[in-house]
Structure 1
Amino acid sequence: MTNRPLARARLVAQGIVAGAGIGSGTTPGSTSRNPTPHEVARAFAALQGQDLPGVLSSIALRAGTSAQTVVDAFNRGEIVRAYPMRGTVFALAAEDALWISQLCNAAPVRAAINRRGQLGLENHHVATAAEVLERTITEAPTPGVPRSQVLAAWNAAGIATDGGRGYHLLVHFISTGHAIYGTLSTDGHRDHDVMLGAQWLPAGSDLASRFNDDEVAATAELLHRYVLTRGPLTLRDAAWWTKLPLRLLRPAAEQMLAEHDDVEIGTWTNAGPTSAASAHRDDEPQYWRAGLPEEVATVGRRVDAPLLLPAFDEVILGYPDRMYIVPEAHHEALVPGNNGVFRSAAVAGAQVIGFWKRGPSAASGVRRFVHEPFGTVSASRAAQLESRYAAFPFPR
């Protein structure tokens, strides 16, 4: 069943509710100014990025700006997309892409390498592909080239890219920092240019330079950002999100608590937060940013106002258990056919009340709002959702 107090706390922590701040790069709960897209990306450490239009809108919603402003941040090199965890693409601040990838993606990289035989790829193919990639980008008149151009260059060099081979090579080079998804290519928001990591990522942003290869220190930093922007959450939530082992996360949590006074620990149930000292001894500890209960109280009823979330938004995908906000009866419909494609969610009263999408264009030429509610929706709530749709930061 859904847990409204927990959902309200997480909605406020994520900065997606009017008047709520985000955890790092801005003052939590501050309404003095909106964060920049780069500050949002840095605060969240990594935002689910399989759906490019969706992640542009997710960042824009938290920054209180347009999707074009987020595109501009990508084009300035402030934000990139990479494969830092779980073999999945995320949007990150450029200065975080390399060290987070080096910390978290060793296992996915090894697993992908072990599958090369099934793809008909050998080490000499990968070495040649790296040379062709570097030459293609270096000789281009722009800092990066469209993905289609990279694939064409590999095919011309005798490296077949069909059957998943091209995708495998791109993911490998981006996962290892040799390349990165940077600027938005000329076909709009539909794809990124591929850039060379050495040219596009900030110098000194690798794990060795940032943390002297201290994995506990790096994990403490990553965990701190996860807690501030998505708590209340447990270390098991963090283990699912990062795929880092608990044996690393536990000392990292101790270091985080020793170094930062902006984290509280306890439990957050249907009755609200309980301090660690008052929690039941069998309860798994949860972490959240200091002052979050007061922020939730200050935000008040605004946290229950209708929201439209993009596909793959962190409110849904930032946690292993989504039924804190998605009613169990409709959870399966969130990912039809369990095919990994998450639908856009409509939220009200701190729970998902249906799904939504952009329908065919009306007579005015504007694509209309299509809501698929779980139950009856009042006229006033329907009007609020329409208003949210009209103001939604769609990429152009």
Structure 2
Amino acid sequence: MADTPLALSRIVAHGLTRPGGTVREVVQAQLAMQGQDLPGVIASIALRTGGAVQDVLDAFDRGEIVRAYPMRGTVFAMAAEDALWVGELCNAAQVRAQIKRRAALGLSDGSFDIGRLILERVAFEGVPRAELFAEWQNAGIETSGGRGYHMLSHFVQIGVASYGSWNGSDNNVHLAEEWLPEGSGLEGRFNGDRVAAATELLGRYFASHGPASIRDAAWWTKLPLKLLREAAEGLGDSIERVETDGETLYQRAGLADEIAEEGKIAREPRLIPGFDELMLGYPDRSYMAGEEHLDKLAPGNNGVFKPTAIAGGAVQGTWKRAGRPGKRSFVLAPWRAVSDTRMRGFERAFAAFPFASE
């Protein structure tokens, strides 16, 4: 069964009940928003600002937000000033694993040396990914079979590049030294203090994702529990501890009052993208979906998560947009009986949904 009180608490914590703030403020508060589904993360941001898709695209163009690979080998949308230090804190094991895969992909260390030189030449003012891959291919570096993505993600993970400005359908690739704020690495932000950096990370994760545990944060970041437990000692008054069922959960101070005020709004029908942090920001998603329905979130366990329709603090089913531009329609695949009232609520949410394309 879904855990309705926990679900309602997290809906409020994620800023979905009373959206507001600038794009940069919302993304910075979340720290990192899973972004491999680009239209999905654009919608996730807009749902939390209450603004338009264009506001998100403009924030990319101004360099206020970027997409990077800060942890878990996964691309996330982040405030530009957070991309480097979070990556330096969390990425060491992933970078080592990537380097070990080079031989299996037929890529040599020399390929990466040449690839970096080309990247530094063509991405000075931003370059579409396809053009960068073409430059690599012309230089004799094979980019098919995921090799181009493997190389580019490595350069993003080590802080050489980032996804930045909008080119009409995707983020351009930029050089980090030109696009990301100077001094925003671990040394510049925290004097190289990993515990202080982990404390900042924990504070923002718990404020935006709580109630959550240190183990939740460890799964999200892949940082060692020992480091996170030490970091948790430095959390200030803005984060409070709640004991429940023998486990310590952390949440932003005052969240209980927010829930009391916004609990009714949290129960209202809403639609979220498939890769939204409300579902993917935790190792256990049964709190929202129920154990018996988890296989419906990502059928075949293929890593592709379906958009969900939520009401009453639980997922009621998955949804999609059908039809052609100008003739779009809402299609719900319910997991349980959905009342007419809730269906009308979902249809209103669909009509207001911040789609990134027609």
User: Secondary structure of 1:232's partner?
Assistant: coil
Report the Cα distance in structure 1 between the residues aligned to 2:7 and 2:238, rounded to whole angstroms: 20
Residue 322 of structure 1 aligns with which residue? 285
Residue 308 of structure 1 aligns with which residue? 271
Q: What is the aligned counterpart of 2:153 among 158, 162, 171? A: 171
1:263-304 deviation line (CA, Å, top 9, x unaligned): 111234xxxxxxxxxxx6xx1211111111111011131111
User: Secondary structure of 2:95's partner?
Assistant: helix
Residue 138 of structure 2 aligns with which residue? 156
Which amino acid in 1 is paired with 2:190?
A: F
Q: What is the aligned counterpart of 2:30 among 33, 44, 60? A: 44
Offset at residue 366 of structure 1 (A): 2.8
Bigger mean CA deviation after superposition, 202-211 or 293-302: 293-302
Residue 241 of structure 1 aligns with which residue? 220
Residue 16 of structure 2 aligns with which residue? 16
Offset at residue 376 of structure 1 (A): 2.0
User: Secondary structure of 1:193's partner?
Assistant: strand
1:225-284 deviation line (CA, Å, top 9, x unaligned): 00000101110000000000011001100011xxx211111234xxxxxxxxxxx6xx12
1:6-65 deviation line (CA, Å, top 9, x unaligned): 111111010011x3x6xxxxxxxxxxxx21110011001100111000000000000011
Report the Cα distance in structure 2 between the residues aligned to 1:125 and 1:377, rounded to whole angstroms: 55
User: Secondary structure of 1:80's partner?
Assistant: strand
User: Secondary structure of 2:162's partner?
Assistant: strand
Residue 166 of structure 2 aligns with which residue? 184
Identity %: 54
Report the Cα distance in structure 1 between the residues aligned to 2:120 and 2:215, rounded to whole angstroms: 40
- Residue 200 of structure 2 corresponds to residue 221 of structure 1: yes
Runs of 4+ deviating beyond 2 Å: none
Number of positions where the alignment pairs a residue of Structure 1 with one of Structure 2? 357
User: Secondary structure of 1:226's partner?
Assistant: helix
Q: What is the aligned counterpart of 1:66 among 52, 76, 83? A: 52
Offset at residue 395 of structure 1 (A): 1.0
Which amino acid in 2 is paired with 1:328?
A: E
Q: What is the aligned counterpart of 2:90 among 104, 107, 116? A: 104
User: Secondary structure of 1:252's partner?
Assistant: helix
- Residue 311 of structure 2 corresponds to residue 352 of structure 1: no
Contact 2:128 2:171 in 1 (8 A): yes
Offset at residue 163 of structure 1 (A): 2.2
Report the Cα distance in structure 2 between the residues aligned to 1:103 and 1:375, rounded to whole angstroms: 43
Report the Cα distance in structure 1 between the residues aligned to 2:84 and 2:239, rounded to whole angstroms: 26
Report the Cα distance in structure 1 between the residues aligned to 2:275 and 2:225, rounded to whole angstroms: 26
User: Secondary structure of 2:289's partner?
Assistant: coil
- Residue 319 of structure 2 corresponds to residue 343 of structure 1: no
Report the Cα distance in structure 2 between the residues aligned to 1:300 and 1:359, rounded to whole angstroms: 31
Which amino acid in 1 is paired with 2:343?
A: A
Residue 345 of structure 2 aligns with which residue? 384
- Residue 333 of structure 2 corresponds to residue 372 of structure 1: yes
Q: RMSD of aligned C-alpha atoms?
A: 1.1
Report the Cα distance in structure 1 between the residues aligned to 2:262 and 2:130, rounded to whole angstroms: 46
Residue 242 of structure 2 aligns with which residue? 266
TM-score, normalised relative to structure 2: 0.98
5+ residue gaps, structure 1, are 22-33, 269-279
Offset at residue 379 of structure 1 (A): 1.6
Which amino acid in 2 is paired with 1:394?
A: F
Contact 2:8 2:263 in 1 (8 A): no
Residue 91 of structure 1 aligns with which residue? 77
1:134-185 deviation line (CA, Å, top 9, x unaligned): 11123xxxx2110000000001111111122111110000101111000111
Which amino acid in 2 is paired with 1:37?
A: V
Offset at residue 68 of structure 1 (A): 1.3
User: Secondary structure of 1:255's partner?
Assistant: coil
Report the Cα distance in structure 2 between the residues aligned to 1:151 and 1:345, rounded to whole angstroms: 34
Offset at residue 374 of structure 1 (A): 1.0
Residue 123 of structure 1 aligns with which residue? 109
1:106-125 deviation line (CA, Å, top 9, x unaligned): 10110000111101111111
Report the Cα distance in structure 2 between the residues aligned to 1:394 and 1:119, rounded to whole angstroms: 36
Offset at residue 312 of structure 1 (A): 0.3
TM-score, normalised relative to structure 1: 0.88
1:342-366 deviation line (CA, Å, top 9, x unaligned): 000000000000000001138xx23
